[in-house]
Amino acid sequence: MSDYKIETKCVQAGYTPGNGEPRQVPIIQSTTFKYETSEAMGKLFDLEASGYFYTRLQNPTNDHVAAKIAELEGGTAGILTSSGQAANFFSIFNICENGGHLVSSSEIYGGTFNLISVTMAKMGIEATFVSPDCTPEELEAAFRPNTKLVFGETIANPALSVLDIEKFAEAAHAHGVPLIVDNTFPTPVNCRPIEWGADIVTHSTTKYMDGHGAGVGGAIVDSGRFDWMAHADKFPGLCTPDDSYHGITYAEKFGMGGAFITKCTAQLMRDFGSIQSPQNAFLLNLGLESLHVRMPRHVENGQAAAEFLAAHPKVRRVIYSGLPGDRYYEIAQKYLPDGGCGVCSFELEGGRDAAQKFMKKLRLIAIETHVADARSCCLNPATSTHRQMTDEQLAAAGIPAGLVRLSCGLENKEDLIADLEQALA
Ligand SMILES: *Cc1c(COP(=O)(O)O)cnc(C)c1O
């Protein structure tokens, strides 16, 4: 499907039924698969043949949907995970182990910040956080001899900064390591980080891809462009034999296009088991079929809400990269020419208390720990998703305590603005 446009891929990529087969992606609700001989099954375990034996590692429904997401991002291989958290963990841990170090943008999702700065630190992985606005010199200074990767979010949740993907990719490649970009907010409809130099792309499919608040999930896509063998000393997990898998050397056997995702499946899925259920993969695919139709409406509503809020006297500031004058307006024009997403943030005059009072008055827009689904919702990160962070960490992440994150759904924009207006009044 790679010659087709993104709209066509959203609808049809990843699954091509044969004669008389189901038109819709079938849900293969089976933990296991039957074989005629143990030799045939042995070949699967040895990765000598491709096929299915146990759904903790691979399932056909998931593989169809992962293949669609890989096509949308312009990658060579993909995998679904049980959540966005699992996707980011796997994408990092697949190449950065005990004794390794990574460079990350400081403006990332709170859960990912916690994963990297607390949980992965306990696994012996160190991280240096840099502002997404850092100079090339500051970025350069963050690297160490044991740096294995660079990480950032295309549009940070909830800071809404836009990553200069080319700047981060150039720095990563100058040090012989890949750039991993979490592309959850724009989705491949609005930005494809691989086209700008990213090597691995991750998603919380829980957000716009599912789009209906129906299923938690994640995805990882490999661009197939990073030459692991050219930096074999840095990536022994990919470039030397895996004793836990019959001495397979992933980068040799599966090449640049397949090594990363195969190792992710054979090692990390096998051992951590964070697989997405086939049922959820099916729901995710329904969301993907309309992603290209929904994203422009999310952007339209986000833009309208941001413009209304920016003109309101009770609003101190609005963060939305589609607003001229926003810190990221120019950079968004480059990476997000069709708009970013439906999420904007704003700070009310009166800080934390005013924010909470305003949110109580909303009728249509609900208070939820969620973004990016069909129904509009909002939250105050400092008292919810980011409550584990200190005020200093909040400031570094670009999230003042009185910030409200507003996710514009697919409703009529005049109704949304009327709700904001009456709550502000
Ligand atoms: C929500 C989110 C995550 C975590 O995803 P889950 O599906 O909730 O585990 C990671 N990154 C970004 C940018 C997110 O918005």
Which of 112, 190, 220, 371 for a ligand 1 pocket mutation test, highest count of atoms within 8 Å of Cβ? Answer: 112
pLDDT at 349: 85
In the numeric block, the tokens 């309101």 are attached to: 312
DSSP per residue over 72-123, as a string?
Answer: HHT-SEEEEESSHHHHHHHHHHTT--TT-EEEEESSS-HHHHHIIIIIHHHT
For atom 4 of ligand 1, which residue has the closest CA? 84
pLDDT at 393: 79
Q: How far is the CA of 369 from the centre of ligand 1 (A)?
A: 11
pLDDT at 45: 82
Phi, psi of 242 (to 5 degrees): -90, 105
Q: Bridge-partner residues for 162, per DSSP?
A: 155
Sheet with 315-319, strands from edge to edge, namely 315-319, 343-348, 403-407, 377-379, 366-367
3-state secondary structure of 177: coil
Q: Cβ(82)–Cβ(301) under 8 Å?
A: no
pLDDT at 200: 98
CA of residue 80 relative to chain centroid, distance? 11
pLDDT at 398: 67
* CA distance linking residue 347 with residue 405, whole number of Å: 9
Q: How far is the CA of 49 from the centre of ligand 1 (A)?
A: 34
Which one-letter amino acid corresponds to residue 425?
A
Which pTM was predicted?
A: 0.96
pLDDT at 397: 66
Q: Bridge-partner residues for 413, per DSSP?
A: none
Give per-10-residue mean pLDDT for the chain (425 aa): 93 97 97 92 84 94 98 98 98 98 95 96 98 96 98 94 98 98 98 98 98 97 98 97 90 97 96 97 98 98 98 95 97 98 92 89 94 94 79 73 92 98 96
Of 114, 287, 102, which Cα lies nearest the Cα of 200? Answer: 102
pLDDT at 126: 98
Q: Bridge-partner residues for 347, per DSSP?
A: 317, 403
For the domain made up of 10-286, the CATH class stated in words is alpha beta
Sign of the dihedral defined by the CA atoms of residues 110, 113, 116, 119, in that order: negative
What torsion, rounded to 10 degrees, do the Cα atoms 50, 264, 139, 122 define?
-170
Query: What does pLDDT average to over the chain?
Result: 95
* CA distance linking residue 131 with residue 423, whole number of Å: 34
Alpha helix positions (H), 13-83: 38-45, 60-73
Q: How far is the CA of 109 from the centre of ligand 1 (A)?
A: 7
Please list every protein residue whose CB sits less than 6 Å from any atom of ligand 1: 83-85, 88, 109, 111-112, 153, 157, 182, 184, 204, 206-207, 216, 218
Take residue 130 and report the two structure tokens written for it. 């840099």
* CA distance linking residue 274 with residue 422, whole number of Å: 44
Helical packing angle, 413-424 and 291-310, nearest 10°? 30
> What CATH number is given for 292-424 in this structure?
3.90.1150.10
3-state secondary structure of 316: strand
pLDDT at 224: 98
- Report domain extents, the chain: 10-286, 292-424
